Amino acid sequence: MRVRYALSLILVLGCSGAASSEPSILDEVECVRTGAEIPPGLWEPAIEAYEAADAQSPPAPGSIVFIGSSSIFLWRTLAADMAPLPVLNRGFGGSVIAHATHFVDRVIVPYEPRAVVLYAGDNDIALGGLSPDCTLRDYEAFVAKIRERDLMIPIYFISIKPSVFRENLWGEMRRANALIEARTMTEPSLHFMDVSESMLDEDGRPIESLFVEDGLHLSPAGYELWTSIVRPVLIADLGD
């Protein structure tokens, strides 16, 4: 069912190796938001802290920038997990995709990155009340903002994860994953890394050991799993 749905969307979006200029099905779908709209200014202190650290010790250009919500921010072992690839962790709190887009000029562009890895969408649906279609639109806006800055770099999207705490929303999150995955398959520079299916047990429920006590944030075992999926892809694509 999921594969057929994704393939049907690919046919609509076009799969010629570039985004289609024809009107897509998304133009006919109303973007639904039922939750609060979180202002990006909430994360200004976090962004200023990154800028202050950069002023003290400017990162070398050409790193892979990881950006997104707390699943990125709390990935304390990211540099070691992705070695020998040079990476920068620029995650911030409970952010949504639109926040990453808002701060592109401050936490992506200055680093002249080799690639960008985005994890977001979890909070978009759970806190912002975004529909899967609206989550896709925000992903599209993120890609467009980077391309507007003449950064024709690879963009990797880590799939929205299932979690114990938000298990009731997994159906919506899984549909958003399918939409975003289908979009990435229309353009060679866009990539989808699916961590979600490996986080489910044989009954299709989130594996509790992959999370800390709150049932939402990843445990060391969770990050080990993510590393086993993300690192080989980046090494194959970006390793020397």
Domains annotated for the chain, with CATH where assigned, are 62-238 (3.40.50.1110)
Sign of CA dihedral 224, 70, 198, 12: negative
pLDDT of res. 194: 98
Average pLDDT over residues 87-93: 95
pLDDT of res. 94: 87
Average pLDDT over residues 71-75: 97
pLDDT of res. 10: 33
Higher pLDDT, 230 or 3: 230
Is the pLDDT assigned to residue 30 strictly greater than 60? yes
Is the pLDDT assigned to residue 35 strictly greater than 80? no
Would you state the structure tokens that stand for residue 9, as one six-digit string? 């969307």
pLDDT of res. 9: 38
Q: Which of these, 35, 29, 39, lies nearest to 9 by C-alpha position?
A: 29
Q: Which of these, 169, 173, 176, 161, lies nearest to 217 by C-alpha position?
A: 161
Is the pLDDT assigned to residue 218 strictly greater than 70? yes
> How many whole angstroms separate alpha carbon 5 and alpha carbon 47?
38
Q: Which of these, 130, 136, 143, 182, lies nearest to 26 by C-alpha position?
A: 136
pLDDT of res. 29: 54
pLDDT of res. 15: 32
Q: Which of these, 132, 138, 143, lies nearest to 178 by C-alpha position?
A: 132
Average pLDDT, the chain: 88
Higher pLDDT, 16 or 213: 213
Average pLDDT over residues 59-69: 96
Average pLDDT over residues 125-143: 94
